[in-house]
Amino acid sequence: MTADPVEQAVQRIERALARIAKAAESSLDAPPAPEEAAPGVAQLVEAHEALRERHERLRTEVAAQIDRLDTLTDRLKR
């Protein structure tokens, strides 16, 4: 005896939904590593990190120079 075609269709849909839910959960677990994401992304990430480090270094230098100027202007005011 064969199962009802409607019941078979519902079961197939439920299995498909389960596969979709499983795929969605696994894709949220961990993002791909930069080198796996797309060609060239790893190089972009490295360049971004280098620019971030340079920016922070320059900000520190500028802050030091501003402090130096403040000290000099304070001396001139006296």
Q: What are the mean pLDDT values of the chain's consecutive 10-residue runs (78 residues total)?
A: 80 91 76 63 89 95 94 87
Return the pLDDT at 11.
92
Query: Is the pTM higher than 0.85?
Result: no
* Cα–Cα distance for residue pair 53/36, rounded to 1 Å: 24
Return the pLDDT at 1.
47
* Cα–Cα distance for residue pair 62/1, rounded to 1 Å: 83
Q: Are 42 and 34 in contact (CB under 8 A)?
A: yes
* Cα–Cα distance for residue pair 39/37, rounded to 1 Å: 7
Q: Which of 17, 19, 16 shows the shortest CA–CA distance to 27?
A: 19
